[in-house]
Amino acid sequence: MKKRTRMILTGFVPIVGVALVILTIGWLGKVDGFIGEVFQKITGIMFTPVFLELTFALLGLIAVFWINNLRLQREGDEYVSLEIEDEPDELSPPKS
């Protein structure tokens, strides 16, 4: 598998995961009984005009953090320690 394809799939998986969460909430609203009523209320609140933007913004942030977490697991820590040795400068005059 090419590196570019792997990068696209890595970003695509969290987006599909968020879409599956939304579809699952809608599907659970069709279930009979108490669970169906609870998820119908959640769906109704989630798709109210003000909460719609907030819901998708939250799910988008979750997807971004998920993608970042996958990247950090693959690439490791981004912190690098540098060792600085005290070597005299060749151009500077010697200290007395």
Cβ atoms of 26 and 47 within 8 Å: the answer is no
Q: Quick one: DSSP state of residue 29?
A: T
Q: What is the pLDDT along the chain (96 residues), one digit of tens a residue?
A: 788 888 788 778 888 888 898 899 999 999 999 999 999 999 998 889 998 898 889 888 988 888 888 888 887 776 767 777 776 666 666 665
Give this prediction's pTM.
0.59
